[in-house]
Amino acid sequence: MKKISILVIFAIFTVSVSAQNLMDIYKKGTVKLVPDMGYAQNNNWNKVFKSYYDTIYGAPMGNRKSLIIMPDGSVLVNHRYRNFYTKFSPDGRFEKEFGITNSKGKNFKKTESIAGVLNDKVLFSNLDNMGNMVCSDLDGHYVKTLKLDYAAKQVIPLSYNKIAVVGWVIWKDKFRDFVAIVDYETNEEKIIWDHFTNRCNEFEHCNLFNYRYDFNNQGSILFSSMPYVNNIGMSSAPVITWLEDRLVVGIPTTGEILTYDIEGKQISKDKINWAVHELSVKEQKEIQQKAIDKFKSKKNPKFADWVSPEENRKANKILVAEMESDLKKISKPIKIPYFSTILKDSDNNLLFFEIPEEENKNKFNVWVYGGKGHFIGQSSFVCDDYQLQINTSKMVFHNGYIYSLQLKKNVSGVPLRLVRFKLTNE
């Protein structure tokens, strides 16, 4: 087992209200996520999640959904690029679709996904392209709009009518990432952390492995041939979570863990010191060559269904040539961030998930810290029935369980499910 040392002091008295003793489960090693068969029964998933088949320019969009837990244990599911939300009862039963309505009872023409619940009474959205955060009551009746002048990667509720935002702005030759605390009542904001990154990023491979092809202004495709590149992202964006009375800010690329009080005053600053991984030159070349071979083997490639087969073959030929050119340029290891995301469980433990060493292996290593900042142990999350995606938009802890949006294996029709997982070592 790797040795680590972290001195972050959260000074929180943790009281367990879970249906399970999560700490004991983590300490035993591998954690198996088992679906609760009594939850979300009798839903017609082909109907409930019919938007799973949504596409934009031929690219699938239906799995771009997220969820939040309401104060009564019901669940709201966001549908990307749709103007409605789906509500499920505390036992997972589909209840209704609804939108944010104005004073005349009509839905807004376009709203972003609901990001959270403030003080158990206000729903607030992510920022739209104009920096608007739409707020409503729990039934979707419009209350007010907060206005900010940037884009956001993460938005979470705090205490005392405050909201934390991971924002970003594109400058001429760099990106600015920052964390701000926004006052719901006054719309005033305070930036408590920021970082500037070159328009590429701090990783020297930023121009490699990312590919874009435009189909004569009819649309485009964008993908990466190399694992971890999309996880690393274009900047050093932090991950945030609220731990009763402290805002925890984790920087994946550096391993720094910062904590702040509700006013934005920094309380502590430490750094995770477990070993940072690297993808060697040899490993990169092997992965890149595998991607090239895959593209070359396609007799009738189909990137986009809105253009002709000939145009798809042309795109494939150009992309293969670009990947072969990049293969020759690989000369240095790639640093892999210390962690991909942080989840807070329902016992106020913090779970730092490593980026998987292999894609689609469905095993996720995690470092577990208690509410007072003490190391509990290393574990792994696995699941037999679902292809896991582990991030804050897909997984939320509540009363000892994980409520999640995941793709079920070996089913016909829509594979997406709202599922409640039990955590067990069996």
Average pLDDT estimate for 395-410 = 96
- At 360 the pLDDT is 61
Q: How confident is the model at residue 323 (pLDDT cuts 50, 70, 90)?
A: very high
Partners of 168 in the β-ladder:
151, 177
Average pLDDT estimate for 206-226 = 75
Cα within 13 Å of Cα(168), Cβ side: 18
45 Cβ neighbours under 8 A, 6+ residues apart: 413, 414, 416, 417
CB atoms within 10 A of CB 200: 15
Q: How confident is the model at residue 69 (pLDDT cuts 50, 70, 90)?
A: very high
- At 232 the pLDDT is 40
Average pLDDT estimate for 351-365 = 78
Q: How confident is the model at residue 359 (pLDDT cuts 50, 70, 90)?
A: low
Average pLDDT estimate for 382-403 = 95
Whether residue 3 has pLDDT greater than 50: no
Whether residue 34 has pLDDT greater than 90: yes
- At 230 the pLDDT is 47
Q: How confident is the model at residue 205 (pLDDT cuts 50, 70, 90)?
A: low
pLDDT digits (tens, 9 = 90+) for 258-310: 999 999 999 999 888 776 778 889 988 998 999 999 999 988 888 877 788 99
- At 355 the pLDDT is 79
pLDDT digits (tens, 9 = 90+) for 136-150: 999 999 999 999 999
Measure the CA–CA gap between 119 and 160, rounded to whole angstroms. 8
* Residue 350 and residue 337 in contact, taking contact as beta carbons nearer than 8 Å: no
- At 206 the pLDDT is 57
- At 79 the pLDDT is 95
Partners of 106 in the β-ladder:
none
DSSP three-state, residue 407: strand
Average pLDDT estimate for 417-421 = 98
Which of these ranges, 209-213, 223-227, 422-426, has the smallest mean pLDDT?
223-227
Which of these ranges, 32-36, 41-45, 97-101, 278-282, has the smallest mean pLDDT?
278-282
* Residue 417 and residue 406 in contact, taking contact as beta carbons nearer than 8 Å: yes
Whether residue 233 has pLDDT greater than 50: no
Q: State the average pLDDT for the chain.
A: 86
Dihedral through CA 397, CA 400, CA 406, CA 412, nearest 10? -150
Measure the CA–CA gap between 106 and 109, rounded to whole angstroms. 9
- At 199 the pLDDT is 63
Residues of the chain above pLDDT 70, percent: 88
Q: Where are the domains of the chain?
A: 22-201+236-280+333-424, 202-230+281-332
Cα within 13 Å of Cα(265), Cβ side: 4
Instruction: Classify residue 333 by its DSSP letter.
Output: P
Q: How confident is the model at residue 40 (pLDDT cuts 50, 70, 90)?
A: very high
Q: How confident is the model at residue 197 (pLDDT cuts 50, 70, 90)?
A: confident
* Residue 137 and residue 154 in contact, taking contact as beta carbons nearer than 8 Å: no
CATH superfamily, domain 22-201+236-280+333-424, is TolB, C-terminal domain (2.120.10.30)
Whether residue 76 has pLDDT greater than 90: yes
Whether residue 134 has pLDDT greater than 90: yes
Measure the CA–CA gap between 191 and 160, rounded to whole angstroms. 17
